[in-house]
């Protein structure tokens, strides 16, 4: 529950970081270069916790049809755009919903020949697929089903997930959270 005192403590910390240097977030309060991924995820968390941050830092990473990780980035990141979709689709009105639709088109255009979204920051598709489930749940059922099928088809006999031969804690955690998000979305 976003009103829980421990969640509000974390939200307060994220909000303090949001306003520390320039609005938005980087991976550390001591590193002053904000990035799109941390800013988009922080924006989602702050809105979920009822803090309602300005969307100006988020929109600063918009690049015509997708979001960037860094202002001078040469190639876009799938995970940044999945996080953008999650951040934008919950916001009312324009430009948020228009941008969410454009990001969805960009993601469809950047789907691999295997039907999956592969990210330049992660070797395992489990990360991007798990985040795609969260982004598409309640937004695009066809894309959601494709990614859910991948997760269910690639669960290992030990119950976990891992792309390189054995289950890993990180990949399993992302996949379990994605499945929980899909289940919660189906109940709404």
Residue 188's pLDDT is what? Answer: 62
Question: Is residue 5 pLDDT above 70, yes or no?
Answer: yes
Residue 73's pLDDT is what? Answer: 87
The structure's pTM equals 0.92
Question: Is residue 42 pLDDT above 90, yes or no?
Answer: yes
Residue 90's pLDDT is what? Answer: 79
Residue 115's pLDDT is what? Answer: 84
pLDDT per residue over 106-120, tens digit each?
A: 999 999 888 888 899
pLDDT per residue over 137-177, tens digit each?
A: 999 999 999 999 999 999 999 999 999 999 999 999 999 99
Output the DSSP codes for the chain: -TTSHHHHHHHHHHHHHHTTSSSS--SSTT-----HHHHHHHHHHHHHTT----SHHHHTTB-SSSB-SSTT-SS--HHHHHHHHHHHHTS-STTHHHHHHHHHHHHHHT--TTS----TT-SSHHHHHHHHHHHHTTT-HHHHHHHHHHHHHT--TTS---TTSS--HHHHHHHHHHHHHHHHHHH-
Q: Do residues 56 and 34 lie in contact, with contact meaning Cβ atoms separated by under 8 Å?
A: no
* 14/29 Cα distance (integer angstroms): 10
pLDDT per residue over 47-96, tens digit each?
A: 999 999 999 999 999 999 999 999 888 889 999 999 999 999 878 777 89
Residue 67's pLDDT is what? Answer: 96
Q: Do residues 170 and 122 lie in contact, with contact meaning Cβ atoms separated by under 8 Å?
A: no
């Amino acid at each position: 529950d976003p009103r829980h005192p421990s969640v509000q403590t974390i939200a307060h910390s994220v909000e303090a970081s949001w306003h520390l240097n320039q609005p938005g977030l980087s991976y550390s309060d001591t590193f002053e270069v904000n990035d799109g991924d941390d800013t988009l995820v922080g924006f989602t968390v702050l809105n979920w916790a009822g803090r309602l941050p300005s969307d100006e830092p988020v929109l600063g990473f918009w690049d015509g049809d997708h979001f960037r990780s860094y202002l001078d980035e040469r190639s876009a990141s799938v995970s940044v755009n999945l996080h953008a979709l999650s951040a934008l689709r919950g916001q009312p009105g324009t430009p948020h919903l228009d941008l969410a639709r454009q990001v969805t088109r960009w993601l469809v255009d950047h789907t691999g020949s295997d039907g999956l979204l592969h990210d330049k920051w992660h070797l395992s598709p489990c990360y991007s697929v798990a985040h795609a489930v969260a982004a598409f749940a309640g937004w695009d059922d066809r894309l959601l089903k494709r990614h859910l099928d991948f997760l269910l088809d690639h669960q290992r006999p030990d119950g976990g997930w891992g792309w390189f031969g054995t289950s890993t804690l990180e990949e399993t955690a992302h996949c379990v959270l994605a499945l929980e998000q899909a289940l919660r979305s189906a109940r709404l």
